[in-house]
Amino acid sequence: MDIRDRMDPQVRARLDQYLAVVGPQGLSGIEDIPERRRRQAELTAGHRPAGHPGAAGEAGDVEVRDHGIRGGTDTGPPVRVRVYRPRGAPPVAPCVLYLHGGGLVAGSVDGDDARAAGLARATDCVVVSVDYRLAPENPYPAAVDDCFAALVWVAESHRRLRVDPRRLALYGPSAGGCLAAATALLARDRGGPGIACLMLVSPMLDDRPTPSHRTNTGFGAWSREANVQAWQAFLGADFGTDRVSPYAAPARVGDLTGLPPAYVDIGDLDLFRDEAVDFALRLMRAGVPVELHVHPGGIHGGENLAPEAGSSVRLRGHRHSALRRTLGVGT
């Protein structure tokens, strides 16, 4: 059987449409990273929810505000964060720090605007999306510093934001999963802020090759070649060496004890399958509560390609339910 025949049919149909527009290798086939960013921005333009700052930040059912916060280093630039507060949120709400995907070299708050707003609506949580710096212009540790700075800002600004610092989650899809796990490790090792839930969605955790990198690639959504290029851009001269920090590639960390309860989901046809499952199993062995979902027929980026597919709807439902349960929404 062709491995493509195992894909969710709705996802495969949308994938074929996407490749017809973008090209047979998808965006990941564009080797020039600035050009890839430009094309990605074109594809996501116009998909902003009601309540976007362009509509004065007040329209629709989500209030949206942009803030500039201090970066992770004294010499670093300010970090832009976008705060989404759903109308149904309680006066003091749980908070989700949202770290977008893009292979550590692309993506933005603007590009994930609709997803972040949708997460706020579905969970009645305040969502804070972080516009972290991208490689190769800003290699490790820039993005990790920015995300940890945003976590600290949320914890310190909880009264201003009207959020409960005891009910704070990290949510990271793809490359955002790398940064969410790294931020959780930093918070553990630096003595806070506290994190109630670590949600890793198709996470990019390991710069080293795994069997699923070889078998689950070539679909056009995210390729092995693009993945290697992204890690090289992020890690620079340390790529492929023992010098890679576990805060850069969290799969390399030796001790996972003390991390917050985690939720991990991954498609069985995702090239990140092996590193995600291995990380989840290692968390369990370290005594960390873990909810792990491996969904059949799922490819990397499939949910973004076909958000209306039955499998995509179910996946979001599982995540939203887990966040609401873990953060005590509605209790």
Which residues on neighbouring strands pair with residue 147, listed in sequence order? none
Compute and round to an integer the Cα radius of gyration of the chain: 18
Q: What angle do CA 308, 309, 310 make, to 5 degrees?
A: 115
Which DSSP helix (H) or strand (E) runs through 98? strand 93-99
Phi, psi values for residue 267, rounded to 5°: -85, 150
Q: Are 221 and 302 in contact (CB under 8 A)?
A: yes
Distance of CA 102 to the CA centre of its chain: 8
Cβ 93 vs Cβ 163: under 8 Å? yes
**How far is 91 from 324, CA to CA, in rounded Å?**
16
How far apart are alpha carbons 258 and 286 in whole angstroms?
8
Cβ atoms < 10 Å from Cβ of 314: 12
> Number of C-alpha atoms within 13 angstroms, CB side, residue 168?
25
The candidate with the shortest Cα–Cα distance to 91, out of 171, 170, 155, 158, is: 158
DSSP, collapsed to helix, strand or coil, labels residue 6 as helix
Q: Find the Cα–Cα–Cα–Cα dihedral 172, 173, 174, 176, rounded to 10°.
A: -30
- Contact assessment for residue 163 and residue 129, using Cβ atoms and an 8 Å cutoff: no
Kindly report the number of other CB atoms within 10 A of residue 156's CB atom: 13
Sheet strands (E) in 152-252: 163-173, 197-201
> Annotated active-site positions, please?
174, 270, 300
